[in-house]
């Protein structure tokens, strides 16, 4: 009896193993084989096109029992039309198997070999899933600045989106609806189209030379006049006037407008920077738009009813309420070597009369050299010096410290600036705790806001008119108004106020955008981020990159 148990036990074990192995799916064998190869991690190419949407393709075909999905030629036609159209959004149709599909998708495949039908079905599905992902999330992963080819970021179940689009026969409109809904995005698309019409225009470089002022006569003025007319800054110019070499009243109006929308001093003087902006090629302008269209695709579908946007490259903050810009002001952002990062969060509380605990890096790199050269610096600006941290912290008389002996590896102190008019954070800071230790704050250095390029901080965002923003953000927090803010400031004691409802804040980097007046704005790429983003955006699916022309040879500094 004892010997008979082993064969029975072995039989049961084998039976369990058989039922533990999933049965091979029923359906189109070609689909099953290719999906299994994808799941196993093999690179799968069909019709000379590699399949990329591994997980989404698997879920899509599993859900439909491994049957063909694109038998309706109208669905294939709509997909091809949608792929062709994304060139207007700054995306490359070839990334979505356009060449392969253009040759096959519109043909009658009823009499074609089953293998061809299967392969085409897979390519069509892969194209839709990739394009849907790129329109909805962006092609480039903002955290790595690499092109995203998996189509597996799960903000939306794209395989479900594909199933619904095929069932309803709405492939084209479904893909269109995945684009950012913001009017600002679609306005940029329209301006991109208009700039595309200028690519074939004669665009000779306007040569450098002495600055041109109102009333001057210069042989470069006809080219300047034609350039401004093409870009829409000068209207109503007669053919006769276009050849005049005199800086007249029409130019005196058009040139400051052009300068202002390029972030230049609108003084009407055509100097080096204005000539550089005038010489920017239509294609270079289109590249700028492409980079910023991609940045829009990184943002969530809805920014909220009330939110704050800081445009780092534009040195501006905007508060939006119910879709309307109700407040805007100038800001100061991080220096090129201490760049303000791009991210989103929520403003949760404000601190009036804040203290400033100097970050260790700033203590060593910025404060220590000043203290050594100016013994009265700490007292004059209201700093206290502490040894240790937390419960063991104790105040130290700065006069007892030999500051010449301190260094990066020997700095056992903390510097804390007390509330007051000289505090580096001013009298209020807006907190959205984040991994970068970035926040918005007041500043005593108000004169710096008169500068056009304001990359002057250590990373945080300084506000020109912080109390106007504070008053608006606290409008829905019980008991807080302008009078109470003034009373709190008068105490000179730190006070924390939690917002009744956190307000989303988006720190963005837009080098071109449409302003509320409908004017296309351009700004300098102060952190040199556009080029790297464009290289990633133009990277093909095999990992190659197409280089983008640029006006200078500065090295890439940082990603978005």
Return all residues near 325 (Cβ < 8 A) that are at least 6 apart: 318, 319, 516
Contacts 24+ apart (CB under 8 A), 172-180: 172/78, 172/79, 172/81, 172/82, 174/132, 175/79, 175/82, 175/128, 175/131, 175/132, 175/135, 176/82, 178/132, 178/135, 178/136, 179/89, 179/135, 179/136, 179/297, 180/296, 180/297, 180/299, 180/301
Neighbour tally for 119: CB within 10 Å: 22
Q: pLDDT digits over 91-118, tens only?
A: 999 999 999 999 887 777 665 688 888 9
Cα–Cα distance between 166 and 108 in angstroms, integer? 18
Which stretches of the chain drop beneath a pLDDT of 70?
1-26, 109-112, 151-155, 237-241, 541-560
pTM, entire model: 0.87
DSSP 3-state of 468: helix
pLDDT at 146: 84
Return all residues near 541 (Cβ < 8 A) that are at least 6 apart: 50, 52, 95, 147, 149
DSSP 3-state of 350: strand
pLDDT at 19: 36
DSSP 3-state of 269: coil
Query: Which two structure tokens, joined as six digits, stand for 480?
Result: 């807080």
Active site amino acids: 441, 460
Question: Which H/E stretch holds residue 521?
Answer: strand 520-522
pLDDT at 22: 41
pLDDT at 13: 38
pLDDT at 324: 92
Using a 10 angstrom Cβ sphere, with 0-12 exposed, 13-18 middle and 19 or more buried, the burial of residue 142 is: buried
pLDDT at 421: 84
Domain regions of the chain by residue span:
22-180, 303-352+427-511, 356-418
Q: Report phi then psi at 166, rounded to 5.
A: -70, -40
Q: pLDDT digits over 432-461, tens only?
A: 999 999 999 999 999 999 999 999 999 999
pLDDT at 375: 87
Choices 3.40.50.300, 1.20.58.220, 3.40.50.1700, 2.40.440.10: CATH for 303-352+427-511: 2.40.440.10
Neighbour tally for 260: CB within 10 Å: 14
């Amino acid at each position: 009896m004892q010997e008979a148990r082993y064969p029975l036990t072995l039989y049961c074990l084998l039976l369990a193993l058989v039922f533990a192995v999933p049965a091979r799916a029923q359906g189109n064998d070609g689909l099953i084989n290719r999906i299994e190869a994808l799941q196993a991690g093999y690179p799968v190419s069909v019709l000379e096109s590699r399949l990329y949407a591994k997980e989404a393709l698997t879920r899509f075909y599993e859900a439909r029992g491994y049957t063909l999905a694109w038998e309706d030629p109208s669905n294939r036609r709509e997909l091809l039309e949608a792929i062709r159209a994304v060139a207007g959004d700054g995306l490359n149709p070839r990334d979505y198997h356009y060449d392969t599909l253009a040759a096959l998708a519109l043909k009658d495949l009823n009499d074609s070999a089953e293998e061809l039908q299967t392969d085409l079905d897979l390519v069509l599905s892969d194209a839709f899933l990739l394009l849907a992902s790129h329109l909805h999330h962006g092609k480039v992963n903002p955290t790595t600045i690499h092109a995203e080819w998996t189509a597996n970021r799960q903000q939306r179940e794209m395989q479900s989106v594909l199933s619904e689009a095929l069932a309803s026969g709405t492939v084209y409109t479904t893909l269109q609806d995945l684009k950012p809904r913001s009017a600002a995005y679609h306005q940029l698309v329209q301006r991109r189209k208009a700039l595309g019409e200028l690519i074939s225009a004669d665009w000779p470089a306007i040569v450098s030379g002495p600055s041109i002022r109102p009333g001057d006569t210069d042989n470069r003025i006809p080219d300047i006049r034609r350039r401004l007319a093409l870009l829409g800054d000068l209207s109503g110019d007669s053919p006769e006037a276009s050849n005049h070499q005199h800086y007249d009243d029409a130019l005196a109006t058009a040139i400051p407008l052009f300068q202002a929308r390029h972030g230049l001093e609108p003084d009407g003087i055509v100097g080096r920077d204005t000539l550089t902006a005038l010489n920017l090629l239509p294609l270079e302008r289109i590249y700028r738009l492409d980079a910023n269209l991609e940045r829009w695709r990184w943002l969530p579908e809805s920014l909220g009813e009330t939110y704050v946007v800081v445009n780092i490259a534009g040195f501006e903050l905007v508060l939006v309420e119910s879709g309307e810009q109700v407040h805007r002001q100038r800001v100061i952002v991080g220096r090129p070597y201490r760049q303000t990062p791009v991210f989103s969060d929520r403003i949760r509380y404000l601190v009036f009369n804040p203290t400033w605990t100097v970050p260790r890096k700033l203590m060593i790199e910025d404060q220590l050299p000043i203290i050594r050269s100016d013994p009265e610096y700490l007292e004059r600006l209201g700093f206290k010096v502490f040894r240790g941290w937390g419960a063991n912290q104790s105040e130290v008389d700065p006069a007892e410290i030999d500051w010449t002996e301190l260094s990066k590896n020997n700095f056992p102190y903390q510097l804390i600036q007390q509330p007051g008019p000289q505090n580096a954070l001013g009298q209020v800071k807006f907190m959205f705790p984040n991994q970068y230790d970035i926040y918005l704050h007041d500043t005593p250095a108000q004169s710096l806001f008169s500068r056009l390029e304001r990359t002057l901080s250590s990373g945080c965002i300084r506000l020109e008119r912080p109390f106007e923003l504070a008053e608006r953000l606290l409008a829905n927090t019980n008991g807080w108004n302008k009078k109470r803010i003034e009373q709190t400031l008068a105490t000179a004691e730190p006070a924390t106020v939690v917002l009744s409802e956190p307000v989303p804040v988006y720190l963005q980097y837009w080098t071109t955008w449409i302003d509320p007046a409908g004017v296309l704005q351009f700004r300098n790429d102060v952190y040199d981020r556009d080029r790297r983003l464009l290289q990633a955006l133009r990277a093909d699916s095999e990992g190659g990159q197409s280089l983008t022309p640029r006006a200078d040879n500065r090295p890439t500094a940082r990603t978005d």
